[in-house]
Structure 1
Amino acid sequence: MIFGKLLPKDGNFFELFNEHGQYIVAGARSFMSMVQNYEDKVQREKFASEVDAAEHSADKVTAEVNRLLHRTFITPLDREQIHGLINSMDDILDLLQDSSEVMALYDVQHVTEDVVRLCEISLKCCERVQHAVTLLPKLNVPEITEAALKTCEEIDRLESDADRVMRSAMSRLFREEADTRELIKLKAIYEHLETISDRCEDVANLIEGIVLENS
């Protein structure tokens, strides 16, 4: 496989991956800020709008990558790897946006400590995804290869942490929440938030495969 820049007229897949990764982190940070300021309706709506903006911007990058695949004869990675990676990255932001919308549609009035904890893990996962993506152009360097694999392992551990937090949250919810409507709302939110880390793990698995194949 060829690592490096494509012909100037064809742009650069790695730059687009990195741009998308930056939008993932921006969306995750805005979502975290929304949760931290949830009691303030004005701030909540402001940060929710930022999540939407990040998702829309990332969609444009995804579309550009897919267009570029059709125009480029020689690609720096296998075509299926490029297609799978950018679409898996896009799934992360889609879920962040979905989670924000679910909280608004369900008219959630307050967030629990478990929601905050799951958001914190999601943000860490997103930051590690973005870091792993920045390493892709340099996989011919052994130290970079090792760093990429280590980052993927960190994402796997964070996903396991999210699983544990959600199981604990669900157990507490069914033991302590007497209001059935609140129980249904929070259950759905917990599941959405935990799935964000699952999608980050999907990206990590793809990157790990790319690293092992090209190192």
Structure 2
Amino acid sequence: MLFGKLLPREGNFFAMFDEHGKHIAEGARAFQNLVQSYADPVLREKYANEVDHFEKQADRVTAEVNRLLHKTFITPLDREQIHGLINAMDDILDLLQDSAEVMALYDLQKMNEDVLRLAEISAKCCERVQHAVSLLPKLSQPAVAEAALKTCEEIDRLESDADRVMRSAMSKLFRDNIDVRELIKLKAVYEHLESISDRCEDVANMIEGIVLENS
């Protein structure tokens, strides 16, 4: 079934997916900057506020997509696919915001290489999500469909990288002699950061399904 024959009479879901994807990538970059600049309280607050801003912007897009679902007679994808995809995308920014809040609430004093690496992987995953989502309107073109599947595979590989980094980080936590309170803090941060790539993989799996069903 060609996507060009299924464009909605009302609303532009693909444009809203693309807008949300941009907020995800921007929020992830702000979060990575937060982690990299964590030693500077002024920059830390600046980037934390940016993460909050992009999360709120994405929430507005999500609400608009769900509202239009009730008003649009013809949609470019199955309604459940639209609802599932936009909410899975929203989960990514929610986790970015949650991760920033956990660092502040737990009064984490400094970043280590594992946190920096997980934040870097998260940002790369989010950028690939944005790219995959941007390809949705043209999936009827075989080359574009193939590019979308390749991008989803890249997200899967990044998620596997995040798993490996977290397992190694957890091993060091329980192997090294560190303060128990610091262990609890870092364990929570690692788990939140690894969950970001998990949610990106969820989006990738949904996009793969859309490609296979509609190309």
- Shorter-chain TM band: over 0.9
Alignment partner, residue 83 of structure 1:
83
- The answer (yes or no) to whether the contact 1:129–1:204 under 8 Å persists in 2 is yes
Alignment partner, residue 185 of structure 1:
185
Residues 71-97 of structure 1 deviation map (CA, whole Å, 9 limit, x = unaligned): 001100000000000000000000000
Shift of residue 203, structure 1, vs aligned partner:
0.2
Question: How far apart, CA to CA, are the structure 1 residues paired with 2:96 and 2:177?
Answer: 25
- The answer (yes or no) to whether the contact 2:2–2:140 under 8 Å persists in 1 is no
Alignment partner of 1:128 is 2:121: no
Equivalences for residues 134-149 of structure 1 within 5 A:
134-149=134-149
**Aligned AA (1:210):** I
Alignment partner, residue 23 of structure 2:
23
Equivalences for residues 22-101 of structure 1 within 5 A:
22-101=22-101
Shift of residue 134, structure 1, vs aligned partner:
0.5
Per the alignment, do residues 143 and 105 of structure 1 end up closer, same or farther by CA in structure 2, a change over 3 Å counting? same
Question: How far apart, CA to CA, are the structure 2 residues paired with 1:156 and 1:95?
Answer: 18
Alignment partner, residue 111 of structure 1:
111
- The answer (yes or no) to whether the contact 1:2–1:75 under 8 Å persists in 2 is no
Determine what percentage of the aligned residue pairs are the same residue. 76
**Aligned AA (2:193):** L
Question: How far apart, CA to CA, are the structure 2 residues paired with 1:2 and 1:61?
Answer: 25
Question: How far apart, CA to CA, are the structure 2 residues paired with 1:177 and 1:17?
Answer: 46
Shift of residue 70, structure 1, vs aligned partner:
0.2
**Aligned AA (1:157):** R
Alignment partner, residue 175 of structure 1:
175
TM, length-normalised to structure 2:
0.97
Report the secondary structure of 1:108's partner residue.
Answer: coil
Shift of residue 11, structure 1, vs aligned partner:
2.0
Report the secondary structure of 1:18's partner residue.
Answer: helix
Question: How far apart, CA to CA, are the structure 2 residues paired with 1:82 and 1:95?
Answer: 20
Shift of residue 178, structure 1, vs aligned partner:
1.9
**Aligned AA (2:86):** I
TM, length-normalised to structure 1:
0.97
Question: How far apart, CA to CA, are the structure 1 residues paired with 2:81 and 2:206?
Answer: 7
Structure 1: segments with no counterpart, 5+ residues = none
**Aligned AA (2:172):** R
Question: How far apart, CA to CA, are the structure 1 residues paired with 2:127 and 2:194?
Answer: 16
Deviates more, 1:123-132 or 1:175-184: 175-184
Across the two proteins, how many residue pairs are aligned to each other? 213
Per the alignment, do residues 2 and 13 of structure 1 end up closer, same or farther by CA in structure 2, a change over 3 Å counting? farther
Question: How far apart, CA to CA, are the structure 2 residues paired with 1:102 and 1:18?
Answer: 28
**Aligned AA (2:33):** S
Question: How far apart, CA to CA, are the structure 1 residues paired with 2:158 and 2:138?
Answer: 25
Structure 2: segments with no counterpart, 5+ residues = none
Question: How far apart, CA to CA, are the structure 2 residues paired with 1:181 and 1:11?
Answer: 50
Question: How far apart, CA to CA, are the structure 2 residues paired with 1:177 and 1:212?
Answer: 50
Alignment partner, residue 8 of structure 2:
6
- The answer (yes or no) to whether the contact 1:2–1:77 under 8 Å persists in 2 is no
- The answer (yes or no) to whether the contact 1:2–1:76 under 8 Å persists in 2 is no
